[in-house]
């Protein structure tokens, strides 16, 4: 029985990671197909933590499709399953995702609250990578309130925190966020500088959603400078 349970857990995790792999190259429909198979298997065996991870990944797929309310429902259900467990970083990730969904629906106050909850959870778990991500989220909410100096202070702090062990994607996320704040503050040359840094860092990744955002913001910046070409 124990061996069968372990096999089911491995099969479910394999299906989940296949779905996550499709997520990372922005192929959201096949991602959802694999995640649905993973969820069905995890629920049969009552694999609570695995189900929570699958729900979170499914929310990410709907988020990528622009269905933010549906994504929010998946994120909340994932968080519910993680409450009371020792999965601190997973719980923090669910809080981050809820914050992101609120942000996309322009619920900035709710988003800030969840980003701050995620920041506290990541700190408690000793997860430096998560702390950086949560700080970026809080900074973005300051930017939405046109508090650009405060936003930039937090974003530069994310670069300083354990800069030695940051991956190219993590560096790119920080550069992208800084570039976006400078863009919103109409400091176009500074924005272009950091967005180009983000573009360079992203060349070594397959983070297409981030790449798309860089090009979207660069387009806005060059347009504001009158550089049509």
Quick: pLDDT tens for 21-68.
999 999 999 999 999 999 999 998 889 999 999 999 999 999 999 999
The pLDDT of residue 171 is 87
Give the number of other CB atoms < 10 A from CB of residue 90: 20
C-alpha dihedral sign at 141, 114, 127, 24: negative
Is the confidence at residue 163, as pLDDT, over 70?
A: no
The pLDDT of residue 64 is 95
In angstroms, what is the C-alpha Rg of the chain?
A: 19
The pLDDT of residue 63 is 96
The average pLDDT across 139-161 equals 90
The average pLDDT across 191-207 equals 92
C-alpha distances out from residue 65 to 38, 58, 68, 110, 223, Å: 20, 11, 8, 22, 27
| Average confidence score pLDDT of the chain | 92
Taking the C-alpha atoms of residue 102 and residue 71, their distance in angstroms, rounded to an integer, is 10
Band of pLDDT at residue 194, cut at 50, 70 and 90: very high
Which has more confidence, 173 or 192? 192
Decide if 41 contacts 12 (C-beta within 8 A). Answer: yes
The average pLDDT across 207-214 equals 91
Percent of the chain with pLDDT over 90: 74
| 2: region left, alpha or beta (phi > 0 left; psi from -120 to 50 alpha) | alpha
Band of pLDDT at residue 162, cut at 50, 70 and 90: low
The pLDDT of residue 214 is 96
The pLDDT of residue 209 is 86
Band of pLDDT at residue 1, cut at 50, 70 and 90: low
Band of pLDDT at residue 161, cut at 50, 70 and 90: confident
């Amino acid at each position: 029985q124990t061996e069968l349970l372990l096999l089911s857990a491995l099969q479910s995790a394999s299906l989940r990671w296949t779905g996550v792999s499709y997520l990372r190259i922005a192929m959201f429909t096949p991602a959802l197909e694999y995640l649905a198979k993973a969820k069905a298997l995890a629920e049969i065996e009552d694999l609570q933590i695995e189900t929570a991870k699958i729900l979170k990944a499914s929310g990410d797929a709907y988020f990528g499709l622009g269905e933010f309310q549906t994504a929010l429902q998946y994120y909340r259900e994932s968080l519910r399953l993680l409450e009371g467990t020792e999965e601190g970083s997973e719980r923090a990730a669910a809080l981050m995702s809820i914050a992101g969904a609120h942000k996309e629906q322009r619920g900035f106050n709710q988003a800030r609250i969840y980003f701050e909850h995620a920041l506290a959870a990541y700190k408690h778990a000793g997860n430096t990578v998560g702390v950086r991500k949560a700080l970026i989220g809080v900074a973005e909410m300051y930017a939405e309130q046109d508090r650009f100096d405060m936003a930039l202070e937090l974003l530069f702090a994310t670069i300083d925190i354990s800069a030695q062990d940051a991956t190219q994607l993590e560096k790119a996320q920080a550069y992208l966020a800084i570039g976006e704040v400078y863009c919103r503050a109409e400091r176009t040359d500074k924005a272009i500088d950091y967005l180009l840094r983000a573009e360079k860092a992203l060349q070594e990744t397959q983070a297409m959603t981030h790449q798309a955002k860089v090009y979207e913001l660069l387009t806005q910046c060059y347009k504001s400078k009158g550089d049509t070409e």
